[in-house]
Amino acid sequence: MNWNAIETMDSWADVNPYDVPLDKIDMSRPELYEANVHDKWFARLREEDPVHYCADSKAGPFWSITTFDDIKTVDTNHQIFSSDKSIAIGVINDDFNPPNFIAMDQPRHDVQRRVVAPSAGPANLKNLESIIREKAALILDGLPVGETFDWVEKVSIEMTTYMLAILFDFPMEDRHKLTHWSDVTTSVEAVGNFSISAEERERELLECLAYFEKLWHQRAGNAGGFDFVTMFANHPDTKEMINNPMEFLGNLMLLIVGGNDTTRNSMSGGVLALNDFPEQYDLLREKPELIPNMVSEIIRWQTPLPHMRRTALEDFELNGKLIKKGDQVIMWYTSGNRDASAIERPEEFVIDRPKARQHLSFGFGIHRCMGNRVAEMQLKIMWEEIMKRFSSVEVVGEVKRLPSNFVLGITEMPVRVHAH
């Protein structure tokens, strides 16, 4: 194959990764994720070059870490692999990139995380359960049974938007602003999903800041609520953050995106997986008590955030390769979650998989997803309510995906729901 011809090809689905010279493989290409072919490219890297160097890409040079164990090594070694300034490939100071605690190292990271963690902790989960169930019922009862509609728009986006509004105690009537700001935040050239200009992105995010500044002032001095803004505004370690608006905005962006794209795409990905593995759908109908286990399997299967980036603070030898100080290191969770040396039959969706929670989708170490229990609870409730109402959610048309290496996103999924 003439490798250069690939630049002018229409479809990445037809490219055989084994035809491409190893040193030309560039897993930052958003087209690979849009065409949903990345798995076979990662399979080649795991086989032949598990710690792979890409010298030239739009996101700059970077290492790809592709096996389960190596990803854990990097993720748990935060003294060497820094999150400072960016956790997404290629993004550093060239974009409007306000600081937040996912992109910070110790000790600042720990202080800020500790302040808001209770919002997503066990005590608050109990408070949230009934309101989430109420919103799930509202959405599902409004679906047009027997007609074709877009599951992403009518269910996944609606449900996560409610969830975000609940976590922020955000005015419900304005809740769609949160989803919009999340899309704006992740619209960055290096990750692929690039729909607005950098200037427009900055302007929109400053509007988000202005909105939240008002909420902050209403809530400062009024502790007691579990929402993110009340927590930041009233804790001694963060109550001055309002004087550092960029840091406040950065953390808002983190919390908005953290809870949005991830859960949204798990909700769509689960429906798709059950359609692709119909015997698993039968098993679910037979044993709905498998829902909590299935939720973990969905999160592994979808891997909503395919990568996190780190920057090496020192030279480090990993699996026979020398990563140099300053290098960009990409942990491809999506690849680790398909690594047969750690997960049995990883290419199959298995709702009663033993140890289903042992996946990489939430990361490891000090940055492990703060919202993991909230996300699981939301998906569990959603599936419980779906199974009460519908014998199946059938995918009936072409599924469209996001051109992004940072969010494994399903943008459109035509379905029909069938009542019992």
Residues found near ligand HEM in the complex (CB under 6 A): 75, 101-102, 113, 120, 167, 254-255, 258-259, 262-263, 266, 299, 304-305, 308, 361-365, 367-371, 374-375
DSSP structure string for 63-131: EEE-SHHHHHHHHT-TTTEE-SS-SSTT-SSSS-----GGG--TTHHHHHHHHHGGGGSHHHHHHHHHH
Nearer to ligand HEM, 365 or 397 (CB): 365
What is residue 298's DSSP assignment? H
Q: Measured from the CB of residue 116, what is the shortest distance to ligand HEM in angstroms?
A: 7
Query: Whole-number minimum distance, CB 394 to ligand HEM, in Å?
Result: 23
Say how many residues make up the chain.
420
- Going across the sheet that includes 390-395, the strands are 149-150, 414-419, 390-395
- Residue 30 has what DSSP assignment? H
Q: Which residue's structure tokens are 């938007």? A: 161
Beta carbons within 10 angstroms of residue 239's beta carbon: 16
> If DSSP codes are grouped into helix, strand and coil, which group holds residue 404?
coil
CB of 259 to ligand HEM, least distance (A): 3
CB of 302 to ligand HEM, least distance (A): 8
Alpha-carbon torsion 44, 49, 51, 52, what sign? Answer: negative
- Residue 306's φ and ψ, nearest 5 degrees, are -70, -25
Q: To the nearest whole angstrom, how small is the minimum distance from the Cβ of residue 319 to ligand HEM? A: 19
For residue 196, which amino acid is it? I
Closest CB to ligand HEM among residues 323, 369: 369
Tell the smallest beta-carbon distance from residue 263 to ligand HEM (Å): 5
- The residue (of 171 and 365) whose beta carbon lies closer to ligand HEM is 365
Of residues 316, 343, 308, the one with CA closest to residue 69: 343
* Least gap, CB of 54 to ligand HEM (angstroms): 21
C-beta of residue 27 within 8 angstroms of C-beta of residue 3 = no
- Closer Cβ to ligand HEM, 143 or 330, answer by number: 330
Question: Do the Cβ atoms of 145 and 418 come closer than 8 Å?
Answer: yes
Adjacent-strand bridge partners of 393: 417
* d(C-alpha 194, C-alpha 190), whole Å: 8
| Omega prior to 107 cis, within 30 of 0 | yes
* CB nearer ligand HEM, residue 102 or residue 231: 102
> C-beta of 404: minimal distance to ligand HEM in Å?
14
**C-beta closer to ligand HEM: residue 12 or 151:** 151
Query: Based on CB atoms, which residue is closest to ligand HEM, 135 or 367?
Result: 367
Residue closer to ligand HEM, measured from CB, 15 or 312: 312
